[in-house]
């Protein structure tokens, strides 16, 4: 029997989940991927990075048709040393995302409680877990203060920032509103557990809170598939793209985004490093993942970056610069992540853009 530690990973057929799954296998772990449907198994199994792990048995699968049910992860967690919970409803998903996200986190915590072999649980949260949806809108007082030169009035976003779980909203409310509320509620559920139940538990918890995650997506094989994840914020380079509908704004209204981005590689490395209980100490840790501290990048700088880094693709008309995307300047401190988790600086925005667009232009139409 292999001595490699076994990790239960959820959401392995998604943008981040697959990258974390592949990174864990490369790091020497065995992975049990919990997915809801057989077609998700089929998607993961086509990934180039996992082929040798399928053949040597390091990657296995287990179906969890309804991850919101009590006891959903009890059987999948058996024998695992770690659980990495990436799965979470997306902004484009229908229905009550808050209940879905909270139930998923609760099921993971229950599985950890009933599985003595589990040493640590890692939750993939988000910067959306620690600020309200309204902060994404240009009219929010904090954004207005930054724009008018009064940024000193705005609190610094850190991994320890907390916001209350928001009041219920309609299931047909704008996608990002439902998504942000779900991330806040689900993370607050974990915070509550950490504050009141974790002290006597046999496992510890790490929350990973990335901003917009940029980087090549191995499972996306065509341009049509490429911008379904958070890479979508670079879609304006190729079309008249707008986030306005997901924010509940008119399609023709300006919809800038908060300047909180991080390279997919740093997100993967953060998840893998978080498993090391000897180096990442503590019973309960939170880590914010945003590059270019303290204000983040200017989104439209992506145009100059690709002109400099990919001149041939630009000359051949592969990057038409068809749209635009405004920036809401953020204010954050993610340096503790660089010191205690990554143990190196975040990859900057120009590297995030270069790697993502270089990958995109070589995909088939």
- pLDDT tens-digit series, residues 86-113: 999 998 899 899 999 999 999 999 999 9
Average pLDDT over residues 314-331: 93
Collect all residues with Cβ–Cβ distance below 8 Å to 286 and sequence separation of at least 6: 159, 160, 206, 207, 209
Q: Report pLDDT digits (tens) over 57-88.
A: 999 999 999 999 999 999 999 999 999 999 99
Average pLDDT, the chain: 95
Q: What is the pLDDT of residues 182-213, one digit of tens each?
A: 999 999 999 999 999 999 999 999 999 999 99
pLDDT band with cut points at 50, 70 and 90 for residue 284: very high
Structure tokens at 110: 């229950």
Can you give the pLDDT at residue 1?
36
Q: Flag whether pLDDT at 240 surpasses 80.
A: yes
DSSP state of 92: T
Percent of the chain having pLDDT more than 90?
87
Q: What sign for the dihedral angle of Cα 24, 29, 35, 40?
A: positive
Cβ atoms within 10 Å, residue 292: 22
**2, pLDDT greater than 70:** no
59, 8 Cβ separation under 8 angstroms: no
């Amino acid at each position: 029997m292999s001595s490699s530690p076994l990790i239960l990973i959820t959401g392995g057929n998604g943008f981040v989940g697959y990258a974390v799954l592949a990174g864990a296998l490369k790091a020497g772990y065995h992975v049990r991927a919990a997915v809801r449907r057989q077609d998700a198994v089929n998607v993961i199994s086509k990934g180039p990075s996992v082929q040798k792990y399928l053949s040597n048995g390091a990657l296995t699968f287990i179906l969890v048709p309804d991850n919101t049910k009590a006891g959903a992860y009890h059987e999948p967690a058996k024998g695992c040393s770690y659980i990495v919970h990436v799965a979470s409803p997306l902004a484009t998903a229908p229905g009550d995302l808050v209940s879905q996200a909270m139930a998923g986190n609760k099921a993971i915590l229950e599985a950890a409680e009933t599985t003595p072999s589990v040493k640590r649980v890692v939750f993939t949260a988000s910067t959306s877990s620690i600020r309200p949806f309204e902060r994404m809108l240009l009219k929010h007082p904090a954004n207005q203060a930054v724009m008018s030169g009064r940024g000193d009035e705005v609190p610094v976003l850190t991994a320890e920032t907390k916001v209350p779980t928001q009041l219920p909203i309609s299931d047909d409310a704008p996608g990002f509103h439902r998504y942000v509320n779900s991330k806040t509620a689900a993370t607050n559920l974990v915070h509550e557990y950490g504050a009141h139940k974790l002290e006597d538990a046999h496992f510890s918890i790490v929350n990973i809170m990335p901003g917009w995650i940029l980087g090549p997506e191995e499972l996306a094989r065509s341009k049509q598939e490429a911008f379904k994840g958070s890479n979508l914020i670079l879609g304006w380079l190729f079309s008249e793209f707008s986030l306005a509908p997901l924010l509940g704004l008119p399609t023709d209204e300006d919809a800038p985004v908060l300047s909180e981005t991080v390279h997919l590689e740093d997100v993967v490395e953060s998840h893998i490093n978080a498993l090391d209980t000897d180096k990442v100490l503590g019973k309960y840790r939170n880590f914010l993942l945003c590059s270019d501290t303290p204000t983040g990048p200017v989104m439209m700088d992506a145009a100059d970056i690709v002109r400099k880094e990919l001149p041939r693709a630009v000359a051949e008309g592969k990057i038409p610069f068809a749209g635009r995307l405004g920036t809401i300047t953020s204010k954050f401190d993610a340096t503790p992540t660089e010191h205690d988790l990554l143990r190196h600086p975040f990859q900057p925005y120009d590297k995030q853009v270069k790697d993502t667009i270089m990958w995109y232009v070589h995909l088939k139409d």
